[in-house]
Amino acid sequence: MCIRWLLGSSQLQRAWRAASLKHLPYGHQGTRRWRHSGGSTYRAVIFDMGGVLIPSPGKMAAEWEVRNHIPSGTVLKALSSGGENGPWMKFMRAEITIEDFLQEFRKLCSEISKTDMSVDFFSFLLTNEQVVKQFPVMTEAITQIRAKGLQTALLSNNFFLPNGKSFLPLDRKQFDVVVESCLEGICKPDPRIYKLCLERLGRKPSECILLEDLGPNLKAAASLGIHTIKVNDPETAVKELKTLLGFTLRTVVPNTRPVRKTMEIPKDSLEKYLRDLLGIQTTGPLELLQFDHGQSNPTYYIKLANQQMVLRKKPPGTLLPSAHAVEREFRIMKALKNAGVPVPKVLDLCEDSRIVGTPFYVMEYCSGLTYKDPSLPGLEPSQRQAIYTAMNRVLCKIHSVDLKATGLEDYGKHGDYITRQVQTWIKQYRATETSTIPAMERLIEWLPLHLPSQQRTTVVHGDFRLDNLLFHPETNEVLAVLDWELSTLGDPLADVAYSCLAHYLPSSFPIQPGLGDCDLTKLGIPTAEEYFRMYCLHMGIPPTENWNFYMAFSFFRIAAILQGVYKRSLTGQASSATAEQSGKLTEFMSNLAWDFAVKEGFRVFKEMPPTKPLTRSHHTWARPQFLPRTLGRRSYVTSTDSSPAHASKGALVFSPEGLSPPVREVYQRLKQFIERHVYPAEPELQSHQASAERWTPSPLVEDLKEKAKAEGLWNLFLPIETDPERKYGAGLTNVEYAHLCELMGTSLYAPEIFNCSAPDTGNMEVLVRYGTEEQKARWLTPLLEGKARSCFAMTEPQVASSDATNIESSIREEDGFYVINGHKWWISGILDPRCQLCVFMGKTDPHAPRHQQQSVLLVPMDTPGIKIIRPLTVYGLEDAPGKVPCGLREAPGRAGHDSGRHRPVPCGD
């Protein structure tokens, strides 16, 4: 096992350390609810990190163990082993190196679980700053504490990361003092570390409050005279802290925070404008907060006298043409309110930039619930179903608005919406491009070539998703649809697809949690397909046939938006504190988009009418013009997964722990087989490869192949899209196979042992897809059984034939035969004595369009006229007897055809 991420966090230490100290008196001797005598007040609040400021990994560990079939308590036991002198405690005191800790941790985990347990993904969860985020309630509390002039400190047991920095996924600027165990060589509950924190604060113990989640640590602090609050729940702890301090620690309005410094607006001019607008005569200060989500138009909460309002403005700086059009938002919301669509009442549009720096509009504040997490944690399945149904119905209501009656006929162009949108977002992306992203380049080429015809024109929201809706807390009905910046007239199916984006994102996605790895049936949430069918039923329309295109376009658009946010973050214009992260996510989104594009491509390809046959009707298959744009690029994307278990997911899986249970079980069996049988055999296999018999198959490999076949670890490579009935392979998607392939890639010999080595894998897939039944019986069956090998002949010495359009070997028809003439080299697998089939690429029509000149023939290796010249080396090294680079000259040969099977025969020069 290789632990690539450093495991742990400060709260892990506390949780597991507490478990190792169960024999000690527990607790902090009670919480003393008093203020100091003589009227003195608290001057500083000290925070622990784990379980107080960021989520406790104890629960995360338990969930991870259940999800990955790891014995419960394994991680806890491993980290608490040895108590104060155990490897975990020593590591947090920086007494041992990362390497020593990881070695010992692996050993402990393996002993406890009785298996070679991989903890890569769990350690990633614990240390990844995109996943381990600070509780908003604590962020608000710290802001309010500092605003009142009190000091804040962080006192945490933590450790060093592999990069030499300490693990601290927090903004250090929140604290006047930061004390870390790994830097000081002292861990809580050692009294010295508390005294050190007090010394740096310059405070007496009686002037400080400590928030901590572990009893032994609280007890040690209390013994010094520090007031303590035990944190079981952050919300409850903040309420207790508020009582002690005597002032509020929460902003009144949900999802708001103090205005970011870069997003401040002049309050005096705004207050004067609002008093004139609303006729407010009473005195009282204007309260201003900023909503903490949103990436585009900065949005503020305003309270003036008894009026609550929301202000949305354009961001500062130079903007792209037609972007951030608050004027259009104002117009559409005013029209839809009159049409009965639930939107906030707009009050005024101000295009005078002198008021707050940019144009803005004001609307009434609506009180309700906003759900940021699409999995709707804490709700019952029936409630989740009701919320998604309400979301679906309000979208239908938007799409049913009478354009003429609402005066919105000219709100956008009619027809060709997708065409214009594709061009718009390509232009927007190009205007904010900071580097070349391969998937975006492919999409920019692919999307305009596969546009669906628009059937209807309706109002489209343009950014319709769950967290842009405000729900009634009791009835689960939508009270208001928010954020109309991207609205226009267009194809309503674009809205439907966009609202399903979360279905394909992982739950740990940093900007917006997704549902890709959730059990939707258990949660009561409709799958993307069910949600789409629900929409079609409500609208009374038939389901679309090109759903994947709409999904590809939706992800492409998000990628372009994220790129724009990232570009603005470079100039300090973005409204979100997480804007800079979006630069790293653009490529992720574009890869998801390309995934759907390829799925759509396969659908189009399968539904294409038969191509017009060429004059040589004996060709095995004619490649459509569409094929090079999709099939030739499959290595970039996941394959379509037609299995019901994965039908609603489609999200990328970045770790074996994210695989479905059946595939994860195959992964573990494969891992065990390689470790038990393949690695130990490598010395003998290396000796064989260096011996005089190196060009003959190794008996040991053949023996291992039979063992692998008996354990069902055989032909894992064939993708489910190629073999949907699982007649030949394991029925895995490319994403699933990628993790198995990574395992096999740790040994030079493993791929052949599991019959997953090139070039046979590609040749077998070609035969499965396009071979006749006779060709499959003659070539595919022995290849699948591992009794034969094959080779692929494309590259030529005279030309740059990595571009296959340059190849010169000719294939011509003559009296019902094929005449083949050419010189090939770097032919993988040809010197293996078991090689029976050569998949040969040659030029059949030099006068056809450039990418339609070639064909592929199946040529038996015993055909007279084939001459193998010599083995080739790579940097002086041979690779016997498997993937062997070598030279091959095809003397002219005739190929007859009988029931579609090609039988080359010699014909002489």
Residue 240 has pLDDT above 80, yes or no: yes
- Mean pLDDT, residues 499-503 taken together: 92
Does 647 reside within a domain? Answer: no
Residue 262 has pLDDT above 70, yes or no: yes
| Token duo for residue 77 | 């036991």
Within a domain: 401: yes
Half-sphere exposure of 298 toward its Cβ, with a 13 Å CA cutoff? 31
DSSP string computed for 715-751: -TTSBTTT-TT-SSS--B-HHHHHHHHHHHTTSSSHH
How far apart, in Å, are the Cα atoms of 598 and each of 332, 535, 594, 770?
36, 25, 6, 19
At 783, the amino acid letter reads L
Residue 352: count other Cβ atoms within 10 Å of its Cβ: 11
- Give the separation between CA 836 and CA 369, rounded to whole angstroms: 67
Q: What pLDDT does 57 receive?
A: 60
The last residue of a domain, from among 344, 367, 390: 367
CATH of the domain at 101: 1.10.150.240
Residue 629 in domain:
no
Sign of CA dihedral 426, 430, 435, 441: positive
User: Encoding tokens for residue 67?
Assistant: 């999800």
Phi first, then psi, for residue 818 (nearest 5°) are -100, 130
**pLDDT tier for residue 286 given thresholds of 50, 70 and 90:** confident
410 and 542 co-located in one domain:
yes
Indicate if the pLDDT at residue 513 is higher than 90: no
Q: How confident is the model at residue 843 (pLDDT cuts 50, 70, 90)?
A: very high
Q: What is the CATH number of the domain that holds 600?
A: 3.90.1200.10
The length of the chain is: 909
Residues 440, 338 within the same domain? no
**Residue 880 or residue 188, greater confidence:** 188
Looking at the domain assignment, is residue 839 inside a domain? yes
The amino acid sitting at 490 is G
Q: Which pLDDT does position 498 carry in this prediction?
A: 93
pLDDT for position 613: 37
Q: For residue 157, which of 106, 109, 107, 92 has the smallest C-alpha distance?
A: 92
pLDDT bucket at 437, cuts 50 / 70 / 90: confident
* Cβ-count burial 693-721 (b if 16+ within 10 Å, e if not): eeeebbeebeebbeebbeeebbbbbbbbb
The answer as to whether 773 is a domain residue is no
Q: What are 615's two structure tokens?
A: 């004059």
Q: How far apart are CA 599 and CA 706, in angstroms?
A: 35
Closest by Cα among 253, 242, 252, 210 to 229 = 210
Cβ neighbours of residue 225 closer than 8 Å, sequence gap 6 or more: 204, 205, 206
Alpha-carbon distance 585 to 592, whole Å? 11
3-state per-residue secondary structure call for 498-524: HCCHHHHCCCCCCCCCCCCCCCHHHHC
Per DSSP (E only), the strands in 116-261 are: 151-156, 177-180, 208-212, 227-230, 256-257
Q: Is residue 520 domain-resident?
A: yes
pLDDT tens-digit map of 761-808 = 999 999 998 899 899 999 999 999 999 999 999 999 989 988 889 999
- Across 699-826, the runs of DSSP E, i.e. the strands, are 789-793, 810-814, 817-825
HSE toward the beta carbon, residue 801, CA cutoff 13 A: 20
- Mean pLDDT over 751-758 rounds to 93
Mean pLDDT of 262-286: 84
What span, in angstroms and rounded, lies between the C-alpha atoms of 460 and 817? 60
Q: What is the CATH number of the domain that holds 204?
A: 3.40.50.1000
What's the per-residue H, E or C state across 353-405?
A: CCCCCCCEEEEECCCCECCCCCCCCCCCHHHHHHHHHHHHHHHHHHHCCCCCC
Among 735, 757, 779, give the residue marking a domain's end. Answer: 757
Cα–Cα distance for residue pair 180/810, rounded to 1 Å: 72
- Which residue type is seen at 65? E
Contacts of 248 (CB under 8 A, 6+ apart): 144, 242
| DSSP reduced 3-state for 236 | helix
Question: If pLDDT is split at 50, 70 and 90, which confidence band does 372 have?
Answer: confident
Same domain, 744 and 813: no
What CA–CA distance (Å, rounded) separates 756 from 754? 5
Same domain, 167 and 71: no
Give yes or no: residues 662 and 727 share one domain.
yes
Domain residues for the domain of 684 are: 653-757
Q: Do residues 527 and 458 both lie within one domain? A: yes
| pLDDT of res. 26 | 28
pLDDT tens digits, one per residue of 626-680: 222 222 222 223 333 333 333 333 456 667 877 888 898 999 999 999 999 999 9
Distance set, CA 650 to CA 253, 391, 621, 712 (Å): 37, 22, 31, 26
First-residue to last-residue Cα distance in the chain: 58
Q: Mean pLDDT across the stretch 721-728?
A: 83
Question: Tell me, what's the pLDDT at 617?
Answer: 31
Q: Domains in the chain: how many in total?
A: 6
Do 557 and 657 fall within a single domain?
A: no
Residue 61's pLDDT is: 66
Does residue 137 sit in the same domain as residue 123? no
Q: Are residues 285 and 261 part of one domain?
A: yes
Calculate the average pLDDT of the chain.
Answer: 79
Q: Which residue has the higher pLDDT, 743 or 165?
A: 743
Instruction: Return the minimum-mean-pLDDT range out of 31-45, 74-88, 588-602, 803-817.
Output: 31-45
- Kindly give the pairing relationship between strand 151-156 and strand 44-47: parallel
Check which CATH number belongs to the domain holding 293 and give it.
3.30.200.20
Q: Could you tell me if 392 and 531 lie in one domain?
A: yes
- Residues 109, 171 within the same domain: no
Beta partners for residue 841, in sequence order: 856
In a shared domain, residues 165 and 208: yes
Predicted local confidence at residue 889, as pLDDT: 43
Which of 218, 245, 272 is the last residue before a domain boundary?
245
Our CA angle for 305, 310, 314, nearest 5°, is 130
Q: Is residue 345 part of a domain?
A: yes
> Residue 603: is its pLDDT beyond 70?
no
441-466: average pLDDT: 90
Lowest mean pLDDT among 275-279, 366-370, 576-580, 704-708: 576-580
Domain assignment present for 637: no
The packing angle between helices 381-399 and 528-539, to 10°, is 50
